[in-house]
């Protein structure tokens, strides 16, 4: 077995040192009823690298990769071009095969990256502090709700209809067990502002409300000014939690922090991390400095060593499970270290200049695509302001159209029927994302096929 | 015999003891690296884009006008920055990484290559199911292996890491209890449990109580039986436990817990010790998470991403979370989500995360499983256990092994700091090991042992490497026992000496600020 260096001679010698005759004697404490005499039945034996590769390649070949088709899917996962150096750097063994930096003297590489990541994330989201990452956007969103409960000592969270339905679903699942109240609704396809429920949110905040959760851009691509909502939350002692699922948008749109959000969570996948069928991704979590001791997850902080040299350590760990056990702010342990590194490398390659250019390119291409698709018979663009994602209203149910487009080799957006199967009012909605990876030809192919499917 | 082609004969200079201070602060290959925010050419970019089409913006007047403050590096600068930083890390690729309970085994590069196939790495989670049948097949493959290896009925693939898996298991348990109208409020955990266990139980609303360990380091079955009652929802147990021992009474523990109407959760962090040799399902376990980043070799990446699928017994299978993959009679796969849950999985407790889990990790785990096969995985457990016992026996004369007489250890060897002179503790041994070129063992965990040193070599270490580690640890332990004060100042040779963690916590600096601004804030 190519991954096992011990030879049979080694094994015999080591058993001798231990003072046992066979390996079975080391498993003597396993109850007889649970002992297995040989390899588990029903599974194949070991295999060469070549054969494993062949088998997995065949499986991968049964999927239509985004890069092999006109591709317009978003809704919480975005396809952006990741520079080749990002993947090279995250595969450095010293990053890839390191553990959580519990021994800071020999983990300054990871720790400095985390400190830089925290700084980048805080600035991108417009907040004072950010943590060293969460699992993903959806779990970060729930952790933010829990944090708001801890800070306000209130138990009702109001979730805008524009929040990603999976994020809402996670919160609803968790709330059933924690006793939190989740108040939310299904979005409307309102022309000019789909999914915008600002008026409802403003009226719904009361003395029980721990937080209002809004997503910007929202699940239907609408972009909103959160300032008034932030002020309303503040006036009533609630926190404003903003969710960002497309980090590239923050190269063009004012950040939630600048608009007054108290906690900003995000899905960082769009920068540095590939689609990967939904994971692993990287949760972003940022807030005000005054709430830092209520934050979940790992934090990296600056300090000095005994010689006075600057260094970095994991800090404020008295919030965390390995110290605080049942009194911890969260049960999270492993986070998304390597994806955070990918995010950070990509972000430092982009820099502010590159990020703004990337965002401008996305927006311009999306505007052109929206105009083109809006000219297809049976299609209207629902959105007013948007970034790189917008919602189309089709003349028929969108779900079968998406399937028919897939049969033609076109990945033409996410149907709202898939995301909101219960909501008949949304059945004709199709959410289309356009990034720098789409071409004008892709848009043309998509538009022509859509025209035929709707005819 | 190597030849020096220059003809130059190296000689020591006259003053060989003088402290050399370099202009750069570098010491040959040990290179200091500024923060990326401190690069002088802040503001550039390392990515080129085609020009954007000219359009009238539709951002609703919400343009980001103020500076963001994100420096950009050209590609050569970025490559150098991160390469230099990487060299300040210890890693499995550099040497033995004996962190107990963390299973730092070799990460096969085939796994990385497979995860990057466009058919796995470049597919969207909401792509039409007809276009991602191979992805569902892969998820199903990994799930089938996990169920077969554990002898369990069902598997939830969506949990994002071990602690998320624990949460998944406890939510299923609570759902099952609620379904029978039996609200229970207490979760029992052994004293030696990982911190995530009590944290998770509290996170889903349970009161946590500890069950003591016996003098030999196992769960005290009698104490457990005495505490069991109608208020107990579940026992969370780690097996093999964090003292490195197999819970000999595991079947009796499960029977007692079940007899009291409660369920058994197993923390699967230590599954590597028994994979292919014991199926947890045969031990009466109802739910167990499996850290794919431990047993199945997906890389730890400096702290994640992990992946924590959970296997369930018959009793809990109906309550498993959404979504999951289901194979149809025609061989095709469907994804069961909220929409169709009622038809397939009406009692599911719901969704834990967006999308379908850590696909990138599943691909790596699949490559690992297929490479090893059932026979290779059994060998994994055996070699891991053999290596740990070898370390335990070779060092128990110089380090106290508190449970050395409790039977063989499993995949990790546990020592304490008993016998060290006043002022010396486990941390000094750990920092001494750093100077010897090793990552230290897990320190001060489990909590049931004073100054615990938990050593997990894993099966991917050869005998010569282990012998060298034993030699190094023996030397450091002897220095500690002899009261060698130089150990108190270790590490001497790492990129940084001991760091002031108290300062970091008292005045947290969690983000870089421009120096001017920092001074103004004083």
Write the DSSP string, B14-48.
S--SSPP--SSS-BTTB-----GGG-TTTT--S--
In a domain? residue A42: no
- Residues facing A263 on adjacent strands: A241, A287
> Looking at the 3D structure of chain A, how many domains does it have?
2
Using the beta-carbon criterion (under 8 Å), do B353 and A135 form an inter-chain contact?
yes
Two tokens at B113? 């290559």
A45-100 pLDDT, tens digit each: 999 999 999 999 999 999 999 999 999 999 999 999 999 999 999 999 999 999 99
Q: What percent of chain B has pLDDT over 90?
A: 87
Range(s) of the domain holding residue A420? 68-81+352-454
The phi, psi pair for A158, rounded to 5°, reads -105, 120
Distance CA B252, CA B248 (A): 9
Distance CA B453, CA B466 (A): 16
Using the beta-carbon criterion (under 8 Å), do B246 and A45 form an inter-chain contact?
no
B223-260 pLDDT, tens digit each: 999 999 999 999 999 999 999 999 999 999 999 999 99
Q: How confident is the model at residue B43 (pLDDT cuts 50, 70, 90)?
A: low
Mean pLDDT of A196-225: 98
Same domain, A182 and A316: yes
Distance from CA of A239 to the nearest CA of B (A): 21
For residue B497, the chain A residues in CB contact (below 8 A) are 105, 305-307, 309
Same domain, A137 and A155: yes
Same domain, A289 and A428: no
For residue A269, the chain B residues in CB contact (below 8 A) are none
The phi, psi pair for B54, rounded to 5°, reads -85, 115
B266-287 pLDDT, tens digit each: 999 999 999 999 999 999 999 9
Q: Is it the case that residue B519 has pLDDT exceeding 80? A: no
Distance CA B434, CA B494 (A): 7
- Tell me the three state secondary structure of residue B312: strand
For residue A345, the chain B residues in CB contact (below 8 A) are 78, 82
Using the beta-carbon criterion (under 8 Å), do A91 and B112 form an inter-chain contact?
yes
Using the beta-carbon criterion (under 8 Å), do A277 and B359 form an inter-chain contact?
yes
Domain boundary among A347, A374, A405: A347
Question: How many CB pairs below 8 A link A and B?
Answer: 718
Q: How confident is the model at residue B522 (pLDDT cuts 50, 70, 90)?
A: very low
In a domain? residue A19: no
In a domain? residue A256: yes
In a domain? residue A284: yes
In a domain? residue A159: yes
Give the residue from B302, B307, B301, B325 showing the smallest Cα distance to A280: B307
Distance CA B25, CA A187 (A): 58
Using the beta-carbon criterion (under 8 Å), do B511 and A223 form an inter-chain contact?
no
Whether A252 and A274 have beta carbons less than 8 Å apart is answered as no
Same domain, A164 and A289: yes
Question: With helix as H, strand as E and coil as C, how does chain A read?
Answer: CCCCCCCHHHHHHHHHHHCCCCHHHHHCCCCHHHECCCCCCCCCCCCCHHHHHHHHHHHHHCECCHHHCCECCCCCCCCCCCCHHHHHHHCCHHHHCCCCCCCHHHEHHHHHHHHHHHHHHHHHHCCCEECCCECCHHHHHHHHHHHHHHHHCCCEEEECCCCCHHHHHHHHHHHHHHCCEEECCCCCCCCECCCCCHHHHHHHCCCCEEEEEEECCCCCCECCCCHHHHHHHHHCCCEEEEEECCHHHHHCECCCCCCCCCEEEEECCCCCCCCHHHCCCCEEEEECHHHHHHCCCCEEEEEEECCCCEEEEEECHHHCHHHHHHHCCCCCCCCCHHHHHHHHHHHHHHHHHHHHHHHHHHHHHHHHHHHHHHCCCCEEECECCECCEEEEEECCCHHHHHHHHHHCCCECCEEHHHHCCCCHHHCCEEEEECCCCCCHHHHHHHHHHHHHHHC
Distance from CA of A392 to the nearest CA of B (A): 16
A355-390 pLDDT, tens digit each: 999 999 999 999 999 999 999 999 999 999 999 999
Q: How many helices (H) and strands (E) are present in chain B, helices listed first? A: 14, 12
Q: Considering CB atoms only, which of A3, A49, A316 is closest to B106?
A: A3
Two tokens at B110? 């085939």
In a domain? residue A126: yes
In a domain? residue A404: yes
- Residues facing B413 on adjacent strands: B455
Indicate which CATH number applies to the domain containing A366: 3.90.1150.10
Whether A286 and A264 have beta carbons less than 8 Å apart is answered as yes
Q: Is it the case that residue B334 has pLDDT exceeding 50? A: yes
Residue of B nearest to A21 (CA): B386
Distance from CA of B306 to the nearest CA of A (A): 6
Mean pLDDT of A325-353: 91
Q: How confident is the model at residue A213 (pLDDT cuts 50, 70, 90)?
A: very high
Same domain, A417 and A342: no
For residue B208, the chain A residues in CB contact (below 8 A) are 325-326
DSSP code of residue B218: S
Whether A229 and A200 have beta carbons less than 8 Å apart is answered as no
Task: State residue A324's pLDDT score.
Answer: 78
Indicate which CATH number applies to the domain containing A209: 3.40.640.10
In a domain? residue A383: yes
Q: How confident is the model at residue A323 (pLDDT cuts 50, 70, 90)?
A: confident
Same domain, A237 and A313: yes
Q: Where are the beta strands (DSSP E) in B13-134?
A: none
Same domain, A310 and A426: no
Mean pLDDT of B202-216: 91
Give the predicted TM-score (pTM) of the model: 0.97
Task: State residue B518's pLDDT score.
Answer: 53
Q: Considering CB atoms only, which of B81, B360, B463 is closest to A279?
A: B360
Task: State residue B4's pLDDT score.
Answer: 62
Handedness of CA A408, A411, A412, A414 (dihedral sign): positive
Same domain, A230 and A359: no
Q: Is it the case that residue B75 has pLDDT exceeding 90? A: yes
Same domain, A189 and A160: yes
Mean pLDDT of A265-293: 97
Q: How confident is the model at residue B344 (pLDDT cuts 50, 70, 90)?
A: confident
Whether B275 and B295 have beta carbons less than 8 Å apart is answered as yes
Same domain, A209 and A342: yes
Q: Considering CB atoms only, which of B92, B198, B339 is closest to A421?
A: B339
Q: Is it the case that residue B42 has pLDDT exceeding 80? A: no
Q: Considering CB atoms only, which of A27, A179, A335 is closest to B304?
A: A335
Cα torsion at A414, A417, A421, A422 (round to 10°)? 130
B140 CB neighbour count, 10 Å cutoff: 18
- List, in order of start, the domains of chain B with CATH numbers: 111-365 (3.40.640.10), 381-504 (3.90.1150.10)
B76-122 pLDDT, tens digit each: 999 999 999 999 999 999 999 999 999 999 999 999 999 999 999 99
Residue of B nearest to A338 (CA): B301
Whether A402 and A436 have beta carbons less than 8 Å apart is answered as no
Q: Considering CB atoms only, which of A28, A36, A278 is closest to B277?
A: A36
Same domain, A239 and A149: yes
Domain boundary among A281, A316, A347: A347
Distance CA A52, CA B110 (A): 9
Q: Which of A257, A261, A280 is the best mutation test for B, with the most CBs of B within 10 A?
A: A280
Task: State residue B343's pLDDT score.
Answer: 83
Q: Considering CB atoms only, which of B47, B160, B174 is closest to A83?
A: B47
Same domain, A366 and A240: no
Domain boundary among A326, A347, A368: A347
């Amino acid at each position: 077995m190519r991954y096992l260096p011990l030879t049979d001679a080694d094994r015999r010698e080591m058993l001798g040192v231990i003072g046992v005759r066979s390996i079975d004697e080391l498993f003597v404490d396993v109850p007889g009823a649970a002992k297995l005499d040989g390899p588990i039945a029903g599974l194949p034996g070991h295999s060469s690298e070549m054969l494993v590769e062949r088998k997995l390649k065949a499986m991968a070949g049964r999927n239509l990769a985004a890069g092999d088709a006109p591709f317009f899917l978003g809704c919480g996962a975005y396809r952006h071009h990741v520079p080749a150096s990002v993947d090279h750097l995250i595969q450095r063994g010293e990053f890839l095969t390191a553990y959580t930096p519990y021994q800071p003297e020999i983990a300054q590489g990871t720790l400095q990256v985390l400190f830089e990541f925290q700084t980048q994330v805080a600035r991108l989201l417009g907040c004072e502090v950010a943590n060293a990452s969460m699992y993903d956007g959806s779990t970060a969103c729930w952790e933010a709700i829990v944090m708001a409960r801890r800070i306000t000592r209130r138990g009702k969270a109001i979730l805008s209809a524009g929040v990603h339905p999976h994020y809402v679903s996670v919160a609803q699942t968790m709330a059933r067990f924690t006793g939190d109240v989740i108040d939310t609704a299904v979005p409307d396809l309102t022309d000019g502002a789909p999914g915008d429920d600002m008026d409802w949110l403003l009226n719904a905040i009361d003395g029980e409300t721990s937080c209002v959760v809004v997503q910007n851009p929202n699940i239907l691509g609408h972009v909103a000014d959160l300032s008034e909502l932030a002020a309303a939350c503040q006036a009533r002692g609630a926190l404003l939690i903003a969710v960002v699922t497309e980090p590239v948008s923050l190269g063009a749109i004012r950040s939630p922090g600048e608009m007054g959000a108290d906690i900003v969570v995000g899905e960082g996948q769009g920068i540095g991390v590939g689609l990967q069928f939904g994971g692993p991704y990287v949760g972003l979590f940022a807030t005000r400095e005054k709430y830092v001791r209520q934050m979940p997850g790992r934090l990296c902080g600056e300090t000095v060593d005994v010689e006075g040299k600057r260094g970095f350590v994991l800090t404020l760990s008295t919030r965390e499970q390995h110290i605080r056990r049942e009194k911890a702010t969260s049960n999270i342990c492993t986070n998304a270290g390597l994806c955070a590194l990918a995010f950070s490398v990509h972000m430092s390659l982009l820099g502010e200049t590159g990020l703004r250019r990337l965002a401008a390119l996305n927006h311009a291409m999306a505007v052109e695509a929206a105009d083109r698709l809006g000219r297809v018979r049976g299609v209207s663009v629902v959105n007013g302001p948007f970034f790189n994602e917008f919602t189309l209203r089709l003349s028929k149910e969108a779900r079968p159209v998406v399937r028919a487009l897939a049969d033609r080799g076109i990945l033409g957006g996410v149907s709202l029927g898939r995301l909101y199967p219960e909501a008949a009012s949304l059945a004709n909605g199709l959410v289309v994302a356009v990034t720098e990876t789409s071409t004008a030809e892709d848009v043309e192919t998509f538009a022509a096929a859509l025209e035929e499917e709707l005819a | 015999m190597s030849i020096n082609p220059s003809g130059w004969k190296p000689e020591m200079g006259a003053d060989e003891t003088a402290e050399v201070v370099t202009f750069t602060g570098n010491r040959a290959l040990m290179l200091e690296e500024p923060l990326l925010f401190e690069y002088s050419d802040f503001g550039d970019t390392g990515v080129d884009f085609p020009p954007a089409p000219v359009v009238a913006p539709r951002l609703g007047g919400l343009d980001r006008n103020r500076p963001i403050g994100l420096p950009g590096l050209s590609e050569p600068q970025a490559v150098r920055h991160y390469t230099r930083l990487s060299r300040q890390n210890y890693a499995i690729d550099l040497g033995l990484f004996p962190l107990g309970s963390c299973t730092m085994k070799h990460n096969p590069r085939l796994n990385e290559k497979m995860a990057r196939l466009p058919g796995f790495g470049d597919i969207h989670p909401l792509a039409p199911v007809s276009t991602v049948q191979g992805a569902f097949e892969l998820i199903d493959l990994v799930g089938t292996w996990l169920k077969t290896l554990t002898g369990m009925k069902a598997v939830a693939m969506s949990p994002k890491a071990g602690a998320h898996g624990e949460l998944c298991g406890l939510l299923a348990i609570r759902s099952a209890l609620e379904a029978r109208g039996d609200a229970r409020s207490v979760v029992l955990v052994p004293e030696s449990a990982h911190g995530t266990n009590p944290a998770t139980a509290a996170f889903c609303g349970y009161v946590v109580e500890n069950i003591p360990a016996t003098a030999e380091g196992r769960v005290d079955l009698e104490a457990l039986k005495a505490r069991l009652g109608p208020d107990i929802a579940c026992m969370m147990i780690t097996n093999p436990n964090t003292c490195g021992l197999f819970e000999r009474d595991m079947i009796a523990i499960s029977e007692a817990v079940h007899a009291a109407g409660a369920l058994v959760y197993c923390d699967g962090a230590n599954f590597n010790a028994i994979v292919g040799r014991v199926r947890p399902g045969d031990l009466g376990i109802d739910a167990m998470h499996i850290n794919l980043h431990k047993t199945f070799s997906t890389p730890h990446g400096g702290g994640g991403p992990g992946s924590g699928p959970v296997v369930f017994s018959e009793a809990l299978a109906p309550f498993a979370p959404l979504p999951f993959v289901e194979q149809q009679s025609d061989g095709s796969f469907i994804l069961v989500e909220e929409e169709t849950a009622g038809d397939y999985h009406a009692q599911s407790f719901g969704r834990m995360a967006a999308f379908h889990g850590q696909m990138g990790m599943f691909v790596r785990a699949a490559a690992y499983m297929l490479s090893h096969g059932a026979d290779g995985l059994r060998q994994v457990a055996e070699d891991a256990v053999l290596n740990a016992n070898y370390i335990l026996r070779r060092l128990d004369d110089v380090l106290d092994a508190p449970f050395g007489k409790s039977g063989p250890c499993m995949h990790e060897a546990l020592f304490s700091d008993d016998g060290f002179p006043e002022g010396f503790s486990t941390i000094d041994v750990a920092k001494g090991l750093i100077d010897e070129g090793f990552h230290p063992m897990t320190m001060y965990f489990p909590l049931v042992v004073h100054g615990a040193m938990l050593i997990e070599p894993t099966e991917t270490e050869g005998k010569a490497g282990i012998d060298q580690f034993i030699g190094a640890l023996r030397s450091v332990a002897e220095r500690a026992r002899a009261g060698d004060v130089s150990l108190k100042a270790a590490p001497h040779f790492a990129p940084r000496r001991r760091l002031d963690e108290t300062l970091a916590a008292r005045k947290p600096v969690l983000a870089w600020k421009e120096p001017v601004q920092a001074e103004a804030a004083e």
